[in-house]
Amino acid sequence: MKNGVLAYIGIGSNLGDSARQCKDAIAQLSRMSGISVERFSSLYKTEPFMDVPGASEAEMESSGQNWFVNAVAELKTRLSAHDLFRTLQAMEDHMGRVRTYPGAPRVIDLDLLLYGQEMICEEDLIVPHPRMHQRRFVLEPMCEIASYTIHPAFGVSMRGLKDRLDDQKIVLRCEI
Protein backbone atom coordinates (compact mmCIF):
# COMPACT_ATOMS: atom_id res chain seq x y z
CA MET A 1 0.00 0.00 0.00
CA LYS A 2 1.66 3.22 -1.14
CA ASN A 3 -0.61 5.79 0.48
CA GLY A 4 -1.97 5.69 3.96
CA VAL A 5 -1.37 6.64 7.56
CA LEU A 6 1.01 4.78 9.85
CA ALA A 7 -0.85 3.52 12.89
CA TYR A 8 0.32 1.44 15.83
CA ILE A 9 -1.85 -1.19 17.49
CA GLY A 10 -1.27 -2.73 20.90
CA ILE A 11 -2.21 -6.41 20.99
CA GLY A 12 -2.73 -8.44 24.14
CA SER A 13 -4.34 -11.55 25.57
CA ASN A 14 -4.42 -13.40 28.89
CA LEU A 15 -7.07 -16.07 28.34
CA GLY A 16 -6.65 -19.33 26.45
CA ASP A 17 -3.72 -19.70 24.05
CA SER A 18 -2.66 -16.07 24.30
CA ALA A 19 0.30 -16.32 21.93
CA ARG A 20 -1.86 -17.94 19.23
CA GLN A 21 -4.58 -15.32 19.66
CA CYS A 22 -2.09 -12.46 19.28
CA LYS A 23 -0.65 -14.08 16.14
CA ASP A 24 -4.16 -14.69 14.78
CA ALA A 25 -5.04 -11.03 15.33
CA ILE A 26 -1.98 -9.94 13.33
CA ALA A 27 -2.89 -12.39 10.56
CA GLN A 28 -6.48 -11.11 10.46
CA LEU A 29 -5.29 -7.51 10.29
CA SER A 30 -3.04 -8.38 7.33
CA ARG A 31 -6.04 -9.71 5.37
CA MET A 32 -8.24 -6.64 5.85
CA SER A 33 -9.01 -4.23 3.07
CA GLY A 34 -7.41 -0.83 3.59
CA ILE A 35 -4.83 -2.18 6.06
CA SER A 36 -1.28 -3.35 5.45
CA VAL A 37 0.72 -4.79 8.36
CA GLU A 38 4.15 -3.25 7.86
CA ARG A 39 5.94 -4.66 10.92
CA PHE A 40 5.14 -6.33 14.19
CA SER A 41 7.13 -6.85 17.34
CA SER A 42 8.13 -10.02 19.08
CA LEU A 43 5.71 -11.39 21.61
CA TYR A 44 6.26 -10.36 25.22
CA LYS A 45 5.12 -12.15 28.36
CA THR A 46 3.97 -9.48 30.76
CA GLU A 47 3.02 -9.34 34.40
CA PRO A 48 -0.70 -8.61 34.85
CA PHE A 49 -2.21 -5.70 36.67
CA MET A 50 -5.71 -4.36 37.03
CA ASP A 51 -6.02 -1.23 34.92
CA VAL A 52 -9.11 0.30 36.45
CA PRO A 53 -9.19 4.04 37.10
CA GLY A 54 -9.60 4.64 40.82
CA ALA A 55 -8.42 1.16 41.87
CA SER A 56 -5.96 1.14 44.76
CA GLU A 57 -2.39 -0.10 44.34
CA ALA A 58 -3.24 -3.14 46.47
CA GLU A 59 -6.26 -3.96 44.26
CA MET A 60 -4.13 -3.61 41.13
CA GLU A 61 -1.41 -5.87 42.55
CA SER A 62 -3.88 -8.58 43.61
CA SER A 63 -5.85 -8.84 40.39
CA GLY A 64 -5.25 -12.60 40.27
CA GLN A 65 -5.12 -12.60 36.47
CA ASN A 66 -3.00 -14.78 34.19
CA TRP A 67 0.12 -13.22 32.69
CA PHE A 68 -0.45 -11.49 29.36
CA VAL A 69 1.13 -11.93 25.98
CA ASN A 70 1.57 -8.54 24.30
CA ALA A 71 2.87 -7.20 21.00
CA VAL A 72 2.67 -4.07 18.86
CA ALA A 73 1.91 -3.93 15.14
CA GLU A 74 2.72 -1.12 12.74
CA LEU A 75 0.01 -0.69 10.13
CA LYS A 76 -0.36 1.44 7.06
CA THR A 77 -4.03 2.16 6.58
CA ARG A 78 -6.40 4.09 4.37
CA LEU A 79 -9.09 3.82 7.05
CA SER A 80 -9.94 6.85 9.16
CA ALA A 81 -8.99 6.62 12.84
CA HIS A 82 -12.64 6.01 13.75
CA ASP A 83 -13.07 3.30 11.11
CA LEU A 84 -9.84 1.61 12.23
CA PHE A 85 -11.01 1.75 15.86
CA ARG A 86 -14.38 0.22 14.93
CA THR A 87 -12.60 -2.47 12.90
CA LEU A 88 -10.44 -3.36 15.91
CA GLN A 89 -13.50 -3.58 18.16
CA ALA A 90 -15.29 -5.80 15.63
CA MET A 91 -12.21 -8.05 15.49
CA GLU A 92 -12.22 -8.33 19.29
CA ASP A 93 -15.90 -9.30 19.24
CA HIS A 94 -15.33 -11.82 16.43
CA MET A 95 -12.42 -13.40 18.34
CA GLY A 96 -14.60 -13.84 21.42
CA ARG A 97 -13.82 -10.89 23.65
CA VAL A 98 -16.44 -10.38 26.34
CA ARG A 99 -16.49 -7.01 28.10
CA THR A 100 -17.64 -7.88 31.63
CA TYR A 101 -15.88 -5.13 33.61
CA PRO A 102 -12.96 -2.75 33.06
CA GLY A 103 -9.65 -4.59 33.35
CA ALA A 104 -11.27 -8.05 33.07
CA PRO A 105 -9.22 -10.93 31.63
CA ARG A 106 -9.56 -11.00 27.87
CA VAL A 107 -9.18 -13.35 24.93
CA ILE A 108 -7.88 -10.44 22.84
CA ASP A 109 -7.35 -6.74 23.34
CA LEU A 110 -6.61 -4.44 20.40
CA ASP A 111 -5.74 -0.85 21.29
CA LEU A 112 -5.23 1.96 18.81
CA LEU A 113 -2.04 3.48 20.21
CA LEU A 114 -1.10 6.02 17.53
CA TYR A 115 -2.70 7.17 14.30
CA GLY A 116 -0.03 9.11 12.43
CA GLN A 117 0.69 12.21 14.46
CA GLU A 118 -2.99 12.93 15.03
CA MET A 119 -4.37 13.85 18.41
CA ILE A 120 -8.02 12.90 18.82
CA CYS A 121 -9.99 13.50 21.99
CA GLU A 122 -13.59 12.50 21.55
CA GLU A 123 -16.06 10.64 23.74
CA ASP A 124 -15.57 7.34 21.89
CA LEU A 125 -11.92 7.64 20.84
CA ILE A 126 -8.74 9.06 22.37
CA VAL A 127 -5.52 8.93 20.35
CA PRO A 128 -2.72 8.67 21.29
CA HIS A 129 -3.81 6.01 23.75
CA PRO A 130 -4.08 7.95 27.02
CA ARG A 131 -1.92 5.56 29.09
CA MET A 132 0.53 4.12 26.58
CA HIS A 133 3.37 6.29 27.91
CA GLN A 134 2.93 4.71 31.37
CA ARG A 135 3.00 1.08 30.28
CA ARG A 136 6.16 -0.98 29.92
CA PHE A 137 4.16 -3.71 28.13
CA VAL A 138 3.43 -1.18 25.36
CA LEU A 139 6.75 0.66 25.23
CA GLU A 140 9.00 -2.45 25.13
CA PRO A 141 7.47 -3.85 21.92
CA MET A 142 6.96 -0.33 20.54
CA CYS A 143 10.67 0.40 20.97
CA GLU A 144 11.55 -2.86 19.23
CA ILE A 145 9.88 -1.74 15.98
CA ALA A 146 9.59 2.07 16.21
CA SER A 147 11.85 3.47 18.92
CA TYR A 148 12.24 6.85 17.20
CA THR A 149 8.55 7.41 16.61
CA ILE A 150 7.51 10.62 18.34
CA HIS A 151 4.56 10.72 20.71
CA PRO A 152 2.43 13.57 19.29
CA ALA A 153 1.27 14.90 22.67
CA PHE A 154 4.67 14.88 24.40
CA GLY A 155 7.12 15.41 21.52
CA VAL A 156 9.29 12.61 22.90
CA SER A 157 10.37 9.40 21.16
CA MET A 158 9.15 6.01 22.31
CA ARG A 159 12.71 5.30 23.51
CA GLY A 160 12.67 8.52 25.53
CA LEU A 161 9.32 7.60 27.09
CA LYS A 162 10.60 4.13 27.97
CA ASP A 163 13.76 5.60 29.52
CA ARG A 164 11.59 7.80 31.78
CA LEU A 165 9.17 5.03 32.71
CA ASP A 166 8.24 4.36 36.35
CA ASP A 167 6.43 1.07 35.56
CA GLN A 168 8.44 -1.77 37.11
CA LYS A 169 6.18 -4.61 35.93
CA ILE A 170 7.99 -7.58 34.37
CA VAL A 171 8.00 -7.62 30.55
CA LEU A 172 9.97 -10.46 28.96
CA ARG A 173 10.61 -10.84 25.24
CA CYS A 174 9.91 -14.43 24.33
CA GLU A 175 9.61 -16.84 21.50
CA ILE A 176 6.27 -18.45 22.25
Which tens digit of pLDDT belongs to each residue from 40-64? Answer: 999 999 988 655 555 544 444 545 6
Strand partners, 76: 6, 36
At 125-160, the pLDDT tens digits run: 999 999 999 999 999 999 999 999 999 999 999 999
Q: Select which of 111, 124, 135, 136 is catalytic.
A: 111
pLDDT in the model for residue 63: 55
Among residues 121, 120, 114, the alpha carbon closest in space to that of 150 is found at 114
pLDDT at residue 103, as a whole number: 73
What is the pLDDT at residue 48? 85
Catalytic, 109? Answer: yes
Q: Which of 24, 97, 136, 159 is catalytic?
A: 97
Q: Where are the alpha helices (DSSP H) in the chain?
A: 18-30, 57-61, 81-94, 136-146, 158-163
170-152-114-129 Cα dihedral, nearest 10 degrees: 60
The Cα–Cα gap between 26 and 12 comes to 11
Domains of the chain are 5-174 (3.30.70.560)
Residues in the chain: 176
Q: Is 106 a catalytic residue?
A: yes
Q: Are 10 and 70 in contact (CB under 8 A)?
A: yes
Q: pTM of the predicted model, to two decimals? A: 0.90
Confidence of residue 9 (pLDDT cuts 50, 70, 90): very high
Task: Measure Cα distances from 12 to 1, 46, 48, 119, 129 in Å.
Answer: 26, 9, 11, 23, 14
Q: Is 61 left (phi over 0), alpha (psi -120 to 50) or beta?
A: alpha
The reported pLDDT for the residue numbered 62 is 45
pLDDT for 163 equals 96
Selected catalytic residue, list 17, 20, 106, 166: 106
CA-nearest of 41, 21, 39 to 30 is 39
- Which of 61-65, 78-82, 89-93 is least confident? 61-65
- For residues 84-102, average pLDDT: 90
User: Which residue in the list 109, 135, 159, 166 is annotated as catalytic?
Assistant: 109
User: At residue 1, does pLDDT exceed 80?
Assistant: no
Q: What percent of the chain has pLDDT over 70?
A: 90
